[in-house]
Amino acid sequence: MTAVALDIRAGRSGGYPAGPSTLSRFFSGRMFRQNAIESMGESARLYGDLVHYTIFGRHIYQLNHPELIEDLLLKDANKHHRGIVMQRAKIVLGEGLLTSEEPLHMRQRRLAQPAFLRQRIEAYGEVIGKNAAAISQSWRSGSVHDVHGDMLELALRIVGKCLFDLDVQSQQEVKKVSAAVDAFMGFLPLAILPFSEQIQRLPLPAMKRIRKGQADLDAMIYGMIAERRRVPGDRGDLLSMLLEAVDTEGSTGRMSDQQVHDECLTIMLAGHETTANALSFALWLMAKHPEMQTRVHEEAREVLGDRAATADDYARLPYATQLFSETLRLYPPVWVIARTCFQPYEIAGYAIPKGAILLASQFVVHRDSRFYPEPLRFDPERFAKEDARLRPRFAFFPFAAGSRQCIGEGLAWMEGVLSVATIARAWRLTSPPGAGAEIALNPSISLRPKFGVPLLVERRN
């Protein structure tokens, strides 16, 4: 591993690292959500590895170096709560894995972990392979198709079957969940505003959409829970495990319907949205780089032949894995991690006060030229084993780390690699006439393609 020295710069006023003024951020528009990615990237370039500024009187610290990020996620993890957005997202997600704090979070993780063990994930491989092949059957060869919607449906089918033994086939079900996800993503601008809790009580259109999506998903999930209570048994999915798990630290020994609901809702919303976005960006990048798409196609033809992919194929698709890794580097669905300091401490000699927000952006660090030469160039070879070993561990952290590391990381990798290989085996993807050189981004709670991903799809012989 090649070490890169920290670049810490003092601010104009004592006691804080360097960073932009509030006025400059406001008048340039950089403090608003749509400009967040550009703003954080510019701050890293101008002010170094530890940046300080304020928003509505709250101290914000942006960490831009793998060493600082490792401390944030591992060594100093017990000094933080979740960020403001996740704290306020409890209005939608309840006390699920994304929003709960310790010690509840660790108990929940322990109860859910068995569903994501290697042997369980291997059983999901065939579901991934079959659904990835089936989802493109509606494509008309030679037409321009928005593949983002299909990737959302694909990811929903997979998470529904693998985690809840639910066959999500009807367009009505897909639209319900998609509308709920869209409403939840629209919650972000409200969550970061002052007086957010009061605003959420107002009869705003955004809150009405959130409540409608919440009601639809509640009906679906509580219906599944009630049916399983009537006919108990292990169906090999997350829901079975949560209902059968014994919570030795809880008051009843079993998870309540509310607890099970909150975990299911969290995984359904977060699990399908982020993977669908990653797959959409991967297909767009393959369309932009036909020579790399050809390599994935040839590898898939050799490994899969004409059959559906299974878990055994995952380790036999190294180039598809590298391509998916490079996609996660350039377009990480979880593009920023936020923490709230509740126990004052120091970073690089600077005091971090209680209530301060700490940010670590995957999007910024993944595009840092100190760790990735020509960082904007799409190059899956960066993730060949010998190259990856030269970088600091936290120069690449798409799934975070520590106690908050994504519990579904193993499933996400298998879903991404097998789906990319399956689609590239059967279809040639190209950019349609008039398409821009770059894809517009929507940095919401997850990083999404702003206007979908229209591609020209052609079936291979």
| Residue 48: both structure tokens together | 């170094």
| Residue 217: both structure tokens together | 């998903």
Radius of gyration of the chain from its Cα atoms, rounded to whole angstroms? 22
| Residue 125: both structure tokens together | 């491989």
What are the residues whose beta carbons fall under 8 Å from the beta carbon of 342, sequence distance 6 or more? 79, 80, 81, 354, 355
| Alpha-carbon dihedral sign for residues 133, 221, 260, 85 | positive
- Distance (Å, rounded) from C-alpha 68 to C-alpha 49? 8
What b/e readout covers 391-414, taking b as 16+ CB neighbours within 10 angstroms?
bbebbbbbbbbeebebbbebbbbb
Q: How far apart are the first and last CA of the chain?
A: 44
Answer yes or no: is 406 a known binding residue: yes
Annotated binding site for heme: 406
Binding site as annotated, residues? 406
